[in-house]
Structure 1
Amino acid sequence: MGFSLLFSFAIVIGIYSYNFSEAREPVCSKFAYEEQLLEKMIRTEIKVETMVNDIKKTEDNVISTLGDIKRAVSDFTDMFADMKENITDEMLKRGDEIKRREESFKKLFEETRTNLTSDMEAKREELTQLQGKLERPPIAFHAHHVADLVLDTSNEIIIFTKSAINEGSGYDISTGIFTAPVGGLYQFSVHTCVFIEKYASIGLVLEGKVIAADINYDNDQYTCSASGAIARVKSGEKVWVKATLSGSNYQLYQDSYRMITFSGMLVNN
């Protein structure tokens, strides 16, 4: 391109030199036309070269801009990938946290349900027992009249053969033994009288163990005495009255004015 410009310039100089040496040449000669045409060609070529340079610059700018866009897209892609990874990790963490809380809630719910169930069962049992207590008939007995008044046998059970009251059917008039229908707190009492110049040594017995004792004697008249006890008796346990001492001088006494009695009642169960 530079060589063409130089060649064209040389031609122009030559033409001008020729025109100067041939001053007599007419202005509108063939050479003047060619000179003008050459000038137009040169100007056109210069414009084309300028346009080529502008296109080159534009192309470079476009290529540079495309590179910037490509880098921006790459940076955005990397940033999006990082954001996606971070969001995924955060979602996984949140999911694990929600799962842990759900498991904790389930465990707490099961413990609460178990405790409530246990409490309800305990309360139901208490209500059942209370209902049973309310529904149970009263336990009480009062027996009197002894057929064999002579206490000549060691540890002889004194049998009271008549029963004035026997709620709960715990007392047996054939054996003289009271069997507790239900467990609980019982109160027992024994009232005895002795013949003149005779002894009576009496014991209240719970399951073979004496829990109350009394001895009575008078050489001038018939005399009476009483003893008793409050005891915790289990269901099925037995209570009776026996002679703790025996012999020919040990004898009870009863008449219309003096009664020998054995009684008991359930105080609280």
Structure 2
Amino acid sequence: MHLQKKGLIALLQIIVATCAREPSSPICSRYDYEERLLERVLRNELALETTLNEIVKTNAKVLDALTQLEDAKTKVDSTLTVMEKKQIEMKSQLADFISNASYIMNSTLVANVGALVEASSQIKENASVTVQQLVKEVNILKDQLNVPTIYFRARITAQITVLSSGQDVVFPTVDVNEGQGYNPSTGKFTASIPGMYLFSVQYCVYTSLNYVYLEIVHGDKALQRSTHYDNTGSAPCVTMQVSAAVAMGDMVWLKKTSMWLLLSLIVFTCAREPSSPICSRYDYEERLLERVLRNELALENTLNEIRKMNAKVVDALKQIEDAKDSFKYVAMLGLRLTNQH
């Protein structure tokens, strides 16, 4: 197009120059000028026709480009419409997802917290019951430490007492009877509490007799036997004693084993030994200390379990808070991406 314009301008310049020179041309005739002018006019028309054809082609191309632009615009509008629908759908889905996730998270949080609180409450309740049981056991052991004093001393006041073989010796006169274990009617001692007891008998032989046969009996078993012989006539006195572990309710008494016996003085005593390995005060204290230590250990273990459960509850709550923050961040990021699209 630009070349055509340059050619047309050059042609007009030639025509103007020719016309200006024609009057002074010595050889150009009138017909020569007309022929040359006609020739130039034809060439101009041809150039103009060519230019018009180019303009028509260009116009067709422009129209085609406009048509393509319209089609592209239609596609863009359609794409925008689809994107808007997708955006609305994504917003709806995101809102549903946020709502469902929030509901699930809240439900899970409530369930977990409820379970943890219930577990913690049960542990505290169990710990309280354990402490109460420990206190009760300690009180029972303290009560057991109050061991009553068991002691008696009985004697025969008659100047001479004649006993036959197999006869139980009865001491009717009671000086001391702590614990009321001795029965002066039967001469038998009944243990009210279990323990280690020390029994002692003192007797004096009548001068006309030389032999004495006695035994301390525990149930159907002889704990200690005493055989004494003396012919000096001085009525010597002898003491027999024995220690024995006696269960609660068992009976101990003195029994004659020979054919006959004359006693001028006889005394029967018994005392519960404080150093008994099965029922002494030290034994009770040792058992009490051992049980207290076991109870303290059990209580400490229970408290440790409570601390561990509390730490787990705190950690679970922290994890739930972190999960909520992460979920909020993801939701905000999803909304930003949706708005950008």
> TM-score of the superposition, structure 1-length normalised?
0.60
- Residue 110 (1) aligns with residue 122 (2): yes
**Mapped partners of 2:197, 2:120: distance in 1:** 47
Q: Does 1:150 align with 2:157?
A: no
Aligned twin of 2:292 = none
Identity %: 20
Alpha-carbon distance between aligned partners in 2 of 1:251 and 1:60, rounded to the nearest angstrom? 146
Change (3 A) 1:58 1:199: farther
CA contact (8 A) 1:202 1:241 kept: yes
- Confirm or deny that 1:201 pairs with 2:213: yes
Q: Could you tell me which residue of structure 2 aligns to residue 173 of structure 1? A: 184
Q: Which one has a larger percent helix, Structure 1 or Structure 2? A: 2
- The CA RMSD over aligned residues, in Å, is 4.5
- Aligned AA for 1:260? V
What's the offset of the Cα at 1:184?
Answer: 3.1
Distance 1:210 1:69 in 2: 117
Q: Do residues 215 (structure 1) and 227 (structure 2) align?
A: yes
Which letter maps to 2:195?
Answer: G
Secondary structure of the structure 1 residue equivalent to 2:136: helix
Q: Which runs of 5+ in 1 are unaligned?
A: 1-45
1:231 lines up with 2:240 in the alignment: no
In structure 2, the residue matched to 1:3 is: none
> Which shifted more, 67-76 or 85-94?
85-94
Contact 2:224 2:241 in 1 (8 A): yes
Q: What is the CA deviation profile of residues 27-62 of structure 1, one whole-angstrom value per residue up to 9, with x for unaligned ones?
A: xxxxxxxxxxxxxxxxxxx9xxx89x8698468436
| Inter-partner Cα distance in structure 1 for 2:117 and 2:240 | 65
Task: Give the CA deviation at 1:185.
Answer: 3.2
Aligned counterpart in structure 2 of residue 182 of structure 1, from 164, 175, 193:
193
Structure 1 residues 68, 241: CA separation in 2 closer, same or farther (over 3 Å shift)? Answer: farther
**Offset of 1:68 from its aligned partner?**
3.8
Contact 1:216 1:223 in 2 (8 A): no
| Native 8 Å contact 2:201 2:241 kept in 1 | yes
- Compared CA separation, residues 166 and 114, structure 1 to 2 (3 A): same
Q: 1:67 aligns with which of 79, 100, 108?
A: 79
Structure 2 match to 1:37: none
Write the letter of the residue equivalent to 1:236. G
Structure 1 CA distance, aligned partners of 2:172 and 2:67? 141
TM-score (norm 2): 0.49
Quote the Cα distance in structure 2 between the aligned partners of 1:144 and 1:150.
15
| In 1, Cα distance between equivalents of 2:174 and 2:258 | 25
The reply to whether residue 241 of structure 1 matches residue 248 of structure 2 is no
Within-5 A mapping of 1:72-83: 73-74=85-86, 77=89, 81=93
Partner in structure 1 of residue 327 of structure 2: none
